[in-house]
Amino acid sequence: MIKRGLIFTTLFMICFLSLAPVAFAQTTVEPTPEPAPDTSKQELKVIRPELQVQIPALSFENSIVVGDGKNGCDEGYICVDTLGTYINALYKWGAGAAVIFAIVIIMIGGVEYMIGSSAGTIENAKKHIQNSVIGLLLVFSTTAILSFVNPNITTTKPVRAEILDPIAYVVASGDVSAANSFSTAVPGNIAIPPNPNSNLILKSNMESIGIFCPRTPGSDLEDIYDSFKGKVSYRLGGKGLRGNGPAYSSEVNRENVRKDPNGVPYGYYCPDNTMCLDCSGFLAILSECAGIPQRGESGGTQGIFGSGATKITACGKGTVTLEDGTEHELKQGDYIGFGGQHTKPDEDGNKPTTAKGTEWKGKVSPYGHIWLYVSDKMLVNSAGSGRAPGTALRQQSLDHVCGSYPIYLKPVQ
């Protein structure tokens, strides 16, 4: 006797399950409404992924949002949830494909069951139907099972990327010449903590924390840079040398003395097992480790870009156009940046302009900044926003730097 009830029950389950909403959970962020144009801020261009193989119903439209503190993303950050959106769409598509495939197998099994003349054929038909139903149950119950084990397994959270303000970035950074790196001048209201540098890392012993420094021409800059990651803390005046008095007096004598969570000024110590360097201090050591001849690093950015440097007026792919109209093909090790003297208006009162011709929004400052060119996507530097241990190293693209600062070129020799 044909067990029609089994077939109808099975088909009912398939139809019921196929209507059930299935998806990995996502921590969503609300789309940012289109704001009124603000010419005082750098325009943010959101670039969404473009897949070579499209998935039905997949859209990255609201997967990247600029945070305003009210849309699930903190102000000053970009929240990126493209991976969660992709996994969610892929799971839905796979579940739908599994339903169709299972229905086909069940239909084949049903036909075998109805026309089967032997016990073996009927048993095979039953197995086809049973296996298809079990497979569907597994597909649709996976999320529930994983959520029961650990809800975080099925929840994708957006990646938060800080939006860098190019003006604040440099104000928090800066550098001084090697001659001004150390001083015994200390504000009278600040007490020096005892033994603040118990394990001070300098140029002389930096290999002890795994820094790769071959000091031979032609060495791989990326490998050397990678060895510094997590091992450099920003300190104004940091050059990798030892001095007398407070470790980084330029740090504690600047406006708005920065203090660590314990209330101790950052300028009085270097965190254990890290090197403390400002922007020119870091790139001087990076260049030395790569076997690149020195280019006035002892004078800080004012010295580096004070002579022998040429203003950049336009940027291309792997090239920059200089003030005299010539085009320079960038090489690994080229310095790009500006000194404090380049933040001042010219004789006619015109403010400095970026390499893209836009007016620089910064103010006159004694501090400049410097990057070392590795590739168009990788201009490396040590930035002052990372005074916490091991957080100084940053990298930006050539396009970003060209559109944000009045920059000059000091080519590798």
DSSP string, 361-390: -----S--EEEEEEETTEEEEE-TT--STT
pLDDT at 37: 36
Contact between residue 240 and residue 275 where contact means Cβ atoms under 8 Å apart: yes
Kindly report the backbone phi and psi dihedral angles of residue 65, in degrees, each rounded to the nearest multiple of 5, phi listed first.
-130, 150
User: CA of 14: how far to CAs of 5, 52, 329, in Å?
Assistant: 14, 32, 64
Q: Each residue's pLDDT tens digit in the chain (413 positions)?
A: 444 444 444 444 444 444 444 444 454 444 444 433 343 445 567 788 888 888 888 888 888 888 887 888 887 788 998 888 888 888 888 888 888 988 998 898 888 888 876 767 888 888 888 888 888 888 888 878 888 888 877 777 888 887 777 777 776 677 777 655 543 334 444 454 444 555 678 888 999 999 999 999 999 999 999 999 999 999 888 888 765 445 676 776 666 677 888 887 777 778 888 898 999 999 999 999 999 999 988 888 999 998 889 999 999 999 999 999 999 999 999 999 999 899 999 888 889 999 999 998 888 888 899 999 999 999 999 998 768 889 899 999 999 999 999 999 999 98
Q: How big, in percent rounded to 5, are the helix, strand and coil portions of the chain? A: 35, 15, 50
pLDDT at 135: 86
Q: What angle do CA 153, 155, 161 make, to 5 degrees?
A: 115
pLDDT at 246: 52
Count of CB atoms situated within 10 Å of the CB of 81: 23
**Rounded Cα–Cα distance for residues 306 and 55 (Å):** 55
Q: Which one, of 399, 370, 358, lies nearest residue 306 by Cα?
A: 370
Q: Which one, of 377, 398, 254, 197, lies nearest residue 316 by Cα?
A: 398
Q: Which one, of 66, 72, 133, 146, lies nearest residue 105 by Cα?
A: 133
CA atoms within a 13 Å half-sphere pointing along the CA-CB vector of 285: 29
Contact between residue 274 and residue 201 where contact means Cβ atoms under 8 Å apart: yes
pTM for the model stands at 0.67
- Single-letter code of the amino acid located at 341: Q
pLDDT at 253: 66
pLDDT at 198: 54
H helix intervals, 35-178: 82-115, 119-149, 166-171
**Rounded Cα–Cα distance for residues 91 and 85 (Å):** 10
